[in-house]
C-alpha cells in the first residue's frame, strides 16, 4: 500500500517529514500513516506537471488513450483490492465499493475514446481572402480536489477528461481517503503514463495546497468536488489569476412520487438513491415528496424495506449500510432527526443511533420520517445520512414549488407513468440532472453537474472534456 505523495513519477514523503493517520470510520482502526504534504509539496507537484505538459499535449490523442485504457483495465483487474481499501477508508459496504471501482474505471475507458474526438472547426468567412479556424487545445496543468464519499471515482472522473484532453494533473484527495488516490497513482505507473503527467499530494492542510493551485499562471483549471461552502472559497481564490474552476457541490435532491407511479419501482429506486453509502452521496434523495393518494402505502412499503436493512462494518459480508464518515456527520444526521421530531414528524423506523458490536458509535439506524414539512431542517439542508423524510403533496404545481424551493440544484427524481407530466416536470425542475423512473442516472457518457448552489461545469460526457480545453480562433489571410 502506497502512503507517500506521488510527485514526478515517484512516491516521496512530505518535505516536512510529517504524516497523519487514516482511520476506518467503522472501527477507528488505523489503516496507515500517510504523508502530510502541504503547499511546498503541491508546488513540487505543479512544477513536475508543468514540465510534463509540453510532451504530453503533443502526443497524438490515440497515444494518450493507451495508458488511460490500460489504467482502466488494471483497476478492474485489482477491483477487489481497491474495493476493500475504499471500504476501509470511507466505510461504505464492500458491494458498493466494487460498483464504485467499475464506475471509476469507466471514466478512463470512456475518455480514452473521447480524447480522439476533440475536433476543431472551420468557419465560412465573409471575406473570400480569409480562412477562419477554431482550435481546441489543452489548457495546461489541471488541479483536482476530491471528497471522501467516492474516493476512487471522484479522482478518475477528473483524471479521465483532463489527461485525455492533453492536460497534466495534480490531485489533492480528501484527508479521510488518500489511500484510494495513491492506489490509482501506483497503478498509473504500471499503466505507463510518462513521469509527471499525474501527481497526488496528500495532506491535512487543504487551504495551503489549494493556495498553490491559484497563486500563479501555471495551473489553468481547478476541478473541485465537495461542499458548497468550500466551493465558494475556491471560486473567490480563482479570481486573482482568473483560473477556470469546475465545481461539483452539494445537493438536496427531491424524490417525487405521483399517484400513478409504479410503487414497487419507486420504493426500489428510493432505497437505491437514499441508502447508498449511508445517504452520503451528493445526488442521493434528500426529500421525499409523495402525492397524497399513495402516501400511506409508499410510507408503509418504504418503512418495511428500510427496517430490513443490515447496518454494520462495510467489510462484513451482507452489510448494506455502513457508518457515517465522522462524528460531525453523525451529529448532523441526529440533529436533522431531532429537529423534525421536535416539530411534529414521526419516525416509522429508526430515528436513533444503531449499535454495531465491536465498532464505533458512528452508525445511524436507517430512518423514515413522516409528517415532515418544508420548514424542517431536513427539508432545507443536505442531510448526508441515512434519513428519508417524507412529505405529502396534492398537486403537481405544489410538488414543483417545494422541489424548486431550495438554492441547490444537482439531481431530482420523479416517478410517474404520465408522459406529458414527465416532460413538464423535466423541463420545469431547476436541476442539472433529472432521473425519470430512474434513481441511478450517473454514467460516464452523460454530463453530471448542478445549477445554482450545486456548482459550475460538468463532468462526464463529451461536455466533461470541454472543461480542460481552450478555444483558439485563427484568422488566416490567404489573399
Ligand atoms: P469538503 O469538506 O468540501 O471537502 C472536499 C475536499 O475539499 C477535500 O479534499 C477537503 O480536504 C478539501 N477542502 C476542505 N476545505 C478546503 C479549503 N478551505 N480549501 C481547499 N480545499 C478544502 O466536502 P466533503 O465533506 O469532503 O464532501 C461532502 C460534500 O461533497 C457534500 O456536500 C456533497 O454533496 C459534495 N459532493 C458533491 C458531488 C458532486 O458531484 N456534486 C460529489 C460528491 C460529493 P480535507 O479533506 O483535507 O479537508
Q: How many whole angstroms from 84 Cα to the centroid of ligand 1?
A: 22
Neighbouring C-beta atoms of residue 314, cutoff 10 Å: 28
Dump pLDDT digits (tens) for 292-305. 999 999 999 999 99
* Residue 248 known to be catalytic: yes
CB 355 within 8 A of CB 363: yes
Q: Within 10 Å of residue 461's Cβ, how many Cβ atoms?
A: 18
pLDDT value of residue 234:
98
* Beta-strand runs (E) in 139-209: 141-145, 168-172, 198-200
Which atom of ligand 1 lies closest to the CA of 228?
32
The one catalytic residue in 5, 282, 378, 391 is 282
Phi, psi of 364 (to 5 degrees): -110, 130
Percent of the chain with pLDDT over 70: 100
pLDDT of the residue at 122: 97
Q: Is the CB of 451 under 6 A from ligand 1?
A: no
pLDDT tens string 220-273 = 999 999 999 999 999 999 999 999 999 999 999 999 999 999 999 999 999 999
Q: Which of 426, 462, 438 is nearest to 273 (CA)?
A: 438
> CA 234 to CA 223: how far, in whole Å?
10
Region 308-327 average pLDDT: 97
- 178-191 helix and 153-165 helix, angle to the nearest 10 degrees: 40
Distance between CA atoms of residues 469 and 18, nearest Å? 36
Whether 233 lines ligand 1, by a CB cut-off of 6 Å, is: yes
Contact (CB, 8 A) for 402 and 391: yes
Cβ neighbours, 10 Å, residue 477: 9
Query: Confidence band (pLDDT; 50, 70, 90) for 147?
Result: very high
**Which of 154, 413, 464 lies closest to 273 in space, CA to CA?**
413
Place of cell 432545507: 380
Assess whether the C-beta atom of 202 lies below 6 angstroms from ligand 1.
Answer: no
- Please give the order of strands across the beta sheet that includes 469-477: 121-123, 130-138, 469-477
Question: Among this protein's residues, is 284 annotated catalytic?
Answer: no
Distance 68 CA to ligand 1 centre (A): 26
Domains and their CATH numbers in the chain: 5-249+454-477 (3.40.605.10), 253-443 (3.40.309.10)
Say if ligand 1 is within 6 A of residue 12 CB. no
DSSP assignment letter at 361: S
CB distance 236 to ligand 1 below 6 Å: no
Of all atoms in ligand 1, which is nearest to the CA of residue 150?
A: 43
**How far does the centroid of ligand 1 lie from the alpha carbon of residue 370, in Å?**
30
Quick one: DSSP state of residue 142? E
Q: What is the mean pLDDT of residues 24-46?
A: 98
How confident is the prediction for the chain on average, in pLDDT?
Answer: 98
Gap between the Cα atoms of 334 and 387, Å rounded: 9
Is the CB of 238 within 6 Å of ligand 1? no
Is 0.85 surpassed by the pTM of this model?
A: yes
Task: Tell me the backbone φ, ψ of residue 175, rounded to 5 degrees.
Answer: -65, -25
Return the pLDDT at 157. 98
Amino acid at each position: 500500500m502506497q502512503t507517500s505523495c506521488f510527485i514526478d513519477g515517484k512516491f516521496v514523503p512530505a518535505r516536512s517529514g510529517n504524516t497523519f493517520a487514516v482511520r476506518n470510520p467503522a472501527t477507528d482502526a488505523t489503516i496507515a500513516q500517510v504523508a502530510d504534504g502541504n503547499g511546498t509539496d503541491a508546488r513540487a507537484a505543479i512544477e513536475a506537471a508543468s514540465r510534463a505538459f509540453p510532451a504530453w499535449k503533443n502526443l497524438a490523442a490515440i497515444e494518450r488513450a493507451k495508458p488511460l485504457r490500460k489504467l482502466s483495465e488494471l483497476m478492474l483487474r485489482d477491483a477487489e483490492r481497491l474495493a476493500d481499501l475504499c471500504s476501509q477508508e470511507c466505510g461504505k459496504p464492500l458491494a458498493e465499493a466494487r460498483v464504485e471501482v467499475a464506475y471509476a474505471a469507466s471514466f478512463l475507458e470512456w475518455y480514452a475514446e473521447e480524447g480522439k474526438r476533440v475536433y476543431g472547426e472551420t468557419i465560412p468567412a465573409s471575406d473570400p481572402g480569409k480562412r477562419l479556424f477554431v482550435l481546441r487545445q489543452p489548457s495546461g496543468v489541471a488541479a483536482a480536489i476530491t471528497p471522501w464519499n467516492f474516493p476512487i471515482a471522484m479522482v478518475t472522473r477528473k483524471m479521465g477528461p483532463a489527461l485525455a484532453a492533453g492536460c497534466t494533473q495534480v490531485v489533492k484527495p480528501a484527508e479521510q481517503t488518500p489511500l484510494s488516490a495513491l492506489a490509482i497513482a501506483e497503478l498509473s505507473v504500471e499503466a505507463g503514463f510518462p513521469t509527471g503527467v499525474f501527481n497526488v499530494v496528500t495532506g491535512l492542510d487543504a487551504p495551503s495546497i489549494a493556495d498553490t493551485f491559484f497563486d500563479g499562471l501555471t495551473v489553468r483549471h481547478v476541478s473541485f468536488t465537495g461542499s458548497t461552502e468550500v466551493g465558494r472559497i475556491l471560486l473567490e481564490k480563482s479570481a486573482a489569476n482568473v483560473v477556470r474552476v469546475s465545481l461539483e457541490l452539494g445537493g438536496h435532491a427531491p424524490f417525487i412520487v405521483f399517484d400513478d407511479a409504479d410503487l414497487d419501482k419507486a420504493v426500489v429506486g428510493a432505497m437505491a438513491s437514499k441508502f447508498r453509502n449511508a445517504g452520503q452521496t451528493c445526488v442521493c434523495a434528500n426529500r421525499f415528496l409523495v402525492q397524497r393518494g399513495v402516501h400511506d402505502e409508499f410510507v408503509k412499503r418504504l418503512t418495511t424495506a428500510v427496517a430490513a436493512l443490515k447496518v454494520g462494518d462495510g467489510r462484513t459480508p451482507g452489510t448494506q449500510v455502513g457508518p457515517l464518515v465522522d462524528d460531525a456527520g453523525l451529529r448532523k444526521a441526529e440533529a436533522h432527526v431531532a429537529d423534525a421530531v421536535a416539530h411534529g414528524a414521526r419516525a416509522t423506523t429508526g430515528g436513533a443511533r444503531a449499535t454495531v458490536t465491536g465498532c464505533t458509535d458512528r452508525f445511524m439506524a436507517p430512518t423514515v420520517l413522516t409528517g415532515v414539512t418544508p420548514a424542517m431542517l431536513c427539508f432545507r439542508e443536505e442531510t448526508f445520512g441515512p434519513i428519508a423524510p417524507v412529505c405529502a403533496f396534492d398537486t403537481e404545481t405544489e410538488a414543483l414549488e417545494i422541489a424548486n424551493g431550495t438554492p441547490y440544484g444537482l439531481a431530482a427524481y420523479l416517478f410517474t407513468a404520465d408522459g406529458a407530466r414527465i416532460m413538464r416536470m423535466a423541463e420545469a425542475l431547476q436541476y442539472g440532472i433529472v432521473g425519470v423512473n430512474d434513481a441511478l442516472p450517473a454514467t460516464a457518457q452523460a454530463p453530471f453537474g448542478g445549477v445554482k448552489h450545486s456548482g459550475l461545469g460538468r463532468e462526464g460526457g463529451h461536455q466533461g472534456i470541454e472543461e480542460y480545453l481552450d478555444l483558439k480562433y485563427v484568422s488566416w489571410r490567404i489573399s
